[in-house]
Amino acid sequence: MSAQTRQEAEPGAEDGRAAAAARKREQHGWYFYDFACSVYSSSVITVFLGPYLTAVAKAAADAEGYVHPLGIPVRYGSFFAYAVSASVILAVLVMPLVGAVADRTGRKKPLLAAAAYTGATATVGMFFLGGDRYLLGGLLLIVANAALSVSMVLYNAYLPQISTPEERDTVSSRGWAFGYTAGAFVLVLNLVLFQSHDSFGLSEGAAVRICLASAGLWWGAFAIVPLRRLRDRAVVREPGAGPAVSGWKQLIATLKDMRRYPLTLSFLLAYLIYNDGVQTVISQASIYGSEELELEQSTLIVAVLLVQILAVAGALAMGRLAVAYGAKRTILGSLAAWGLTLGAGYFLPARTPVWFFALASMIGLVLGGSQALSRSLFSHLVPAGKEAEYFSAYEMSDRGLSWVGPLVFGLTYQVTGSYRDAIISLVVFFALGFVLLARVPVRRAVEAAGNPVPERV
């Protein structure tokens, strides 16, 4: 290369290095939102809030065991589930609207801040769930859950903007790993406080309320990092384009737009089905452990912690496999592993914690990777400029539409009276999801969305 050629090339190389450094800075900030909000999912939803809110509702129940929110008779044991369902409905209404506003204004970061601090504030407010304040607990749960879903739409929509196609699987996997790391760390601290509450001069209820509120403080504190490092991009606004008037109308408009990209829609359908199985296993595994396997609460909590820890290793390992073999093949492998895990779970002996821990280990190893790679693969299938809008539909598949699995689980138990039959019935979600995903020509789907095709996908 001549001296003149080197002089011409060096400025471009310098610009490339500067762009890569800026991208890395944003990626590091992006990881920290998973680090911030995953504590809510692990400590609040998975471990502490369900039993505690049910106990609060029981304290407020009448002699027949009913509470009466808005004058409607509800069994106190169902209140938590109904509150979660209400949060899903609220999120379904809000997510598409927020996604469309983010895409059309380019101002994702202020919306992310609003959603994050709404959720964090509601979680901190759970400290006041003493006595019989079940209605306050239900309201805070609805707000926090919906805010988390909205924030994840905006968070996920940054992924295509802060990473190249070749980086995306790794970046997504690291985000999940950061989240599971935080979840495991805070869960350990919370369990120490909960189990040693007498040593700290606290009642059991006070210890739980501190654990709940601490998740909100953690969420709010670490959300500062991504809000400082992520940046908004300017958008070219179409003439006459404005925010959608309702979440449902925007969702319908998004799905109509997706018909222009049928392969993207095909992937979303496959994801909806196998993710329904994933979410059902997460929510029902503790019931299977306690009712069918007759395990103690402490055993179940340790199993949740084990899942959190191993999900970090699983997400990172599957991210490396995706680099070598492609995200689609790696996800297909994880779905096969899910099916084998449920098959093994069917044969677990009762009152044998060691085998339940083995099952939790298998779930942890495939959980983080299957979720992370699904997110990164979908990001390749989203047309440029529609990231938040399309990820709102993706997030609804992740959080808003995962109701068929629990229904199948419940109906199977109702008909057979066996939780073993109920858990094995979920294999159909992974089998059907495997078949549908295998039929998606991912490389053509990426091209159809107008995106560069990575070497392996």
pLDDT in tens, 250-265: 667 777 888 899 999 9
pLDDT of residue 428: 95
**Angle, CA 37 vertex, CA 32 and CA 38 arms, to 5°:** 95
Cα distances (angstroms) measured from residue 13 to each of 8, 22, 26, 163, 417: 9, 14, 20, 18, 66
* Identity at 280, one-letter amino acid code: T
- Collapsed DSSP state (helix, strand, coil) of residue 259: coil
In what helix (H) or strand (E) does residue 236 lie, and over which residues does it extend? Answer: none
Mean pLDDT of 21-50: 89
List Cβ neighbours of 140 (8 Å cut-off, separation of 6 or more): 122, 123, 125, 126, 129
Q: What is the pLDDT of residues 62-77, one digit of tens each?
A: 988 888 988 888 777 7
For residue 211, pLDDT over 90 is answered with yes
Counting residues of the chain whose pLDDT is more than 90, the rounded percentage is 38
pLDDT digits (tens, 9 = 90+) for 291-347: 788 887 678 778 888 888 888 888 888 888 988 899 999 999 999 999 999 999 999
Beta bridge partners of 74: 67
- pTM given for the model: 0.75
Share above pLDDT 70 across residues of the chain, in percent, rounded to a whole number = 90
Which pLDDT band, with edges at 50, 70 and 90, does 240 fall under? very low
- What does the pLDDT read at residue 32? 95
The pLDDT-based confidence of 128 (bands split at 50, 70, 90) is: very high
Asked whether the predicted pLDDT for residue 6 surpasses 70, the reply is no
Residue 406 CB neighbours (<10 A): 16
Q: What is the pLDDT of residue 160?
A: 85
In whole numbers, what is the pLDDT of the chain averaged over residues? 84
Identify the residue with better confidence: 418 or 126. Answer: 126
- pLDDT of residue 400 exceeding 70, the answer is no
Band of pLDDT at residue 443, cut at 50, 70 and 90: very high
Tell me what pLDDT residue 13 has.
64
Q: What is the pLDDT of residues 175-195, one digit of tens each?
A: 888 988 898 899 889 888 988
